[in-house]
Structure 1
Amino acid sequence: MDIQFTEEQELLRSSVQRLLHDQYGFDARRKIVASEEGFSRKQWQAFAELGLFAAPFSEGVGGLGGVPLSAMIIMQEFGRHLVVEPFVETIVLAGGLIEQMGSEEQKQAFIPDIIAGAKIWALAWTEKGSRFDLATVTTTARSDGQEYVLNGEKTAVIAAPWADYLIVSARTSGHRHDRGGVSLFVVDRRAANLDLQSFKTIDGRRAAEVNLRDVRGQLLGREGEGVMALEACRDRAIGALCAEVVGAIGELNSATLEYSKTRRQFGVTIGSFQVLQHRMVDMFIAHQEALSLMQHLNLSLGTADPGVSRLASGAKSKIGYAGRFIADQAVRLHGGMGMTDELNVGHYFKRISSINIQFGDPAYHVLRYAQLDTAA
C-alpha cells in the first residue's frame, strides 16, 4: 500500500520533520530523559504552537480535521526521533475519549487546553491481574451528588507523573469481569487522597502506580459504557503506536545499513558478507510489510470499517513481531556498540519493547485476532 498524501498532510509531515531535526536530536533527547521531570515542557509547547495537538481533533471542537492519518504522520516522525513527550496519552487517548464521550460542556472545558498544550492527560485503565482486558476492573465508583467517589488501584499509568488530569476506568455496577458496569471518570491528578508512586520505564519515560481512596471525579460519557469507549480508543491508540514503531524501525534499518558500509572486519566491510546482506534484506522486507499494514489500519480507522478492531489486533501483532525482529538484528549487527547507552540503537530497542506490551503484546493480539475472525 502506498498512500498519496494531500498537500496539507505533506505540509504537516515536513513541518514535524524540520522541527524534530532542528530541536530533537539524539543528544537533546538524552538530556530531556535524564532531566528531573523526564520530558520537556518547552518542546511540548513547541508542538502545540506548530498545531500538532489540533491536527487529530475534528473542526467541531477546534481541531484541524480529525482524521487518523494526521496522528499517523506525527507519530511516525516521533518514532524516528524517539520523542518521549506524551502525545498518545494526552491527544490520542484522553483527547479522543473526551471528544467521543464527553458532554458539550466537558469538550469546551477540556479540549481547548489540550490543543493549546496547557494541560497534560493520562489514561488509567490497567490493574493488577487484568492482562490487557479492558473489562477486568475492580476499582469502584459510587455516586455522591453531582460527582462520584472512586476507590481502587491502577498500575503502570504512563505519563501520570506529568499529568494534570487522569481518565480513570471504574466499576459502577456488576462483577470484576463484566463488560457492562464500567464507566469513565475525569480526576484531577492533585485531588485529595490520590497517591502516585512514580517510576521510570525502560524506555526512559515516566509512569506511576495510582492509589485512589475516596477520590472525587466527574463522569465522562454515560454510566456503564466505558468498555465500549475504551475499545474504540484502543484501536486508535494501536494505529498511532504502530506508526511510531514503523518510524523507529525505519531509522534502525538506515543506521544498520550505514554501519555495515563502514565497519570493517577481516579487512573488508561487513556489508560485503552475503549472510549479512540477506539478513538486512529480511529487515527491509519486514519494515515494508509493517509500513503497508500500518497505513491500511490508519486508513480504515477513518472509515468506520466494522472489521477495524480485528485489523488493529492483526497490525499490533504483525508490526510488534517485525519491530522486535528488526530491533534485535540491529543490535546484533552493531555488535558491542549496539548495547551501549551512547548509541541510539539500544534506545530504539527499548522503546519498541515497551510499545509491544502497551494495550496487549503480539501473542495476545494473535489470539484476539483469531477470536474476532471466528466471530465474524
Structure 2
Amino acid sequence: MILTDDQRMLQDVVRPFMAEEGAIKPQLRHWRDSGCKDGFGHGLWKQIAELGLTGMLVPESAGGAGLGQVEANLVLEEIGRNLTPSPFLTTSVAGVRALEGSAHAERWFPGIVAGETVVALAIDEGKAHNPAATALEAKRQGNGFLLNGTKQFVVHGASADLMLVAARTGGAAGETNGVTLFAVPQDMAGVAVENVALADSSKAARLTLSNVAVDADAVVGEVDDGWAPLSRGLNAGRAGAASELVGIAAGASEMTFDYLKQRKQFGRLIGEFQVLQHRAAHLYGEIEIARATALKAAQLLDAGDPRAELMTAVAKAKAGKVARLAVQEGVQMHGGIGMTDEHDIGLYMKRQAVLDELFGGPRFHAGEVARLSGY
C-alpha cells in the first residue's frame, strides 16, 4: 500500500504542474465565465500530452507510456485537488481501457497520445447509472447496423471526436448479454447532440441517434459481448474517479484547514475551538482511508486480480461519501463566505456532486459490493 520511487517521481512532477497550469482561476473559472462549449482548454490538454500523461495507459508499442492504473490515479488526484477541467478521465483512462486490444486502438491511440483526440462514453439512458439497462437499439442491416435511441450524461459529448456507444443487439434491458459496444465518430449522419452545462460548469450531452448507419468494423470487441470492453473501461473510469474524488476532498479540506488558521471569532482563531479540531481530525482520517482504498483498487486492476471489480466498487462508494463530507464541512466551516461564488470552496461542492454520479454513485456501488459478495 505504498508508492514506488517512480510513482513518487511522477507525483512530484504532476502536483506542481496541476497547481500552476491547472489551477482554478486560469482554468475552471476562465472556461466557465467565457461560455466555452467544451468546458476545458485544448491548450492545457496539449500541455498534458507533452508531459506524456494523455497516453500513459497506452502501450509503448502504440506510442504511449505503458503505465498503469496507479499512475493514472495519481494524476487524477491532482486534477481533483485543483478542479482542473480536462477530458483525462473519460479519454485517457476509461476510453483507452475500453479500446485496448481492439482494431480501433490503432486508429485512435495516436490522437489520444498527442492530446488531439477526445473520447466520450455514451452509456446511460435513464436517471441513474445502470449500464445493464441499455436499450438503445442496434439493428442489423446488411454488413452493419442501424443505431436508434438516446443517451444522456455523456461527458464531453459535444467535444468528442469519438463516442463509445453501448447498444443492444440481443437480450433485454437489464441483461449484460446482448450488449455491444460501438465506436461512433461524432460527425456521423444521424447523430444529434444537445450540449448542456452541469452543476460544476463542465459539459455533458444528450445524444439522439436516428438511423445512424455503422458497418461491422465499428464494433469494439464482439457482437453481443460488448460487456467485456465496456466493463474494462468503466472499472478503470470508476477507479480513476475515486482518486479524483479523493483529490477533491483533499483540496477542499486543505482550503478549510487554512481558513481555520486565519479566521478569528471572539478574539480567537476558530481553529483553536476543540469541536472544530475534532471534525478536522475526523475528516483527515476519512480522506486517508479513501485514498488507501482507491490505491488498492488501482493496484488490483493493474495486477488483473479477480477482486479488482469489488474493490473498485468499494473505492468509488467510499471516495464519494468522503468527498461529500469534505465539501460539506468546508462550506459550513467557512460560514457565509462559503456560500458565495467568489470563494472557491463552493466550486469543490459542485464538482463533487457531478463526479459522485459519474459511473455510478455510492448507492449504486454499495449494491455492486453486495452483489459481488454473493448477497
Quickly name the TM-score band, shorter chain normalised: over 0.9
Report the alpha carbon displacement of residue 144 of structure 1 after superposing the two structures with TM.
3.3
**Counterpart of 1:32 in structure 2: which amino acid?**
W
> 1:50 maps to which residue?
51
What's the TM-score once normalised by structure 1's chain length? Answer: 0.94
What residue number does 1:337 align with? 337
Are the equivalent residues in 1 in contact too, given 2:23–2:83 (CA < 8 A)?
Answer: no
2-side partners of 1:231 and 1:109: how far apart? Answer: 21
Equivalent runs, 1:1-376 vs 2, <5 Å? 1=1, 3-7=2-6, 9-29=7-27, 30-35=29-34, 36-37=36-37, 38-100=39-101, 102-103=102-103, 106-128=104-126, 131-217=128-214, 218-374=218-374
Of 169-178 and 71-80, the range deviating more from structure 2: 169-178
Mean CA deviation greater in 318-327 or 145-154? 145-154
Matched residue of 1:211: which SS?
strand
- CA deviation map 1:267-312 (0-9, x unaligned): 1110111111111111111111111111111111111111111111
Query: What SS does structure 1 have at the residue aligned with 2:120?
Result: strand
Could you report, residue by residue, the CA deviation over 1:115-144 in whole angstroms, capped at 9, with x for unpaired residues?
111111101010025x32212111111233
C-alpha RMSD over aligned residues: 1.5
Whole-Å separation in 1 of the counterparts to 2:213 and 2:160: 17
Distance 2:99 2:237 in 1: 14
Task: Tell me how far apart the structure 2 counterparts of residues 374 and 136 of structure 1 sit (CA, whole Å).
Answer: 21
User: Separation in 1 of the partners of 2:149 and 2:80?
Assistant: 34
**How far off is 1:146 after superposition?**
4.3
Q: Report how far residue 110 of structure 1 moved.
A: 1.1
Structure 1: runs of 5 or more not aligned: none
Secondary structure in 2 matching 1:151: strand
CA contact (8 A) 2:56 2:92 kept: no
State the alpha-carbon separation in 1 of the partners of residues 170 and 110 from structure 2. Answer: 32
Structure 2 residue identity aligned to 1:147: G
Alpha-carbon deviations, 1:19-73, whole Å to 9, x = none? 2233222211210222223211111111111111121222232221231112111
Separation in 2, partners of 1:70, 1:216: 38
- TM-score, structure 2 normalization: 0.94
Q: Tell me, what secondary structure is at the counterpart of 1:178?
A: coil
Paired residue type of 1:6: D
Which amino acid letter does the alignment assign opposite residue 52 of structure 2?
G
Q: Secondary structure at the match of 2:117?
A: coil
Shift of 1:145: 4.1
> Is residue 187–residue 216 contact of structure 1 (8 Å, CA) maintained in 2?
no
Letter in 2 for 1:69: V
Q: Contact 1:286–1:326 (CA<8 Å) still a contact in 2?
A: no
What is the identity, as a one-letter code, of the residue corresponding to 1:21?
A
Once the two structures are superposed, what CA deviation does each residue of 1:5-27 show, in whole Å capped at 9, x if it has no partner? 233x3332222223223322221
Number of residue pairs matched by the alignment: 369
- One-letter amino acid of the counterpart of residue 266, structure 2: F
Q: Unpaired runs of 5+ in structure 2?
A: none
- Residue pair 1:124, 1:154 contacting (<8 A) in 2 also: yes
Structure 2 contact 97–232 (Cα < 8 Å) conserved: no
Distance 1:348 1:73 in 2: 19
Give yes or no for contact 1:134–1:227 (8 Å, CA) kept in 2: no
Q: 1:152 aligns to what SS in structure 2?
A: strand
Q: Give the residue type in structure 1 aligned to 2:105.
A: K
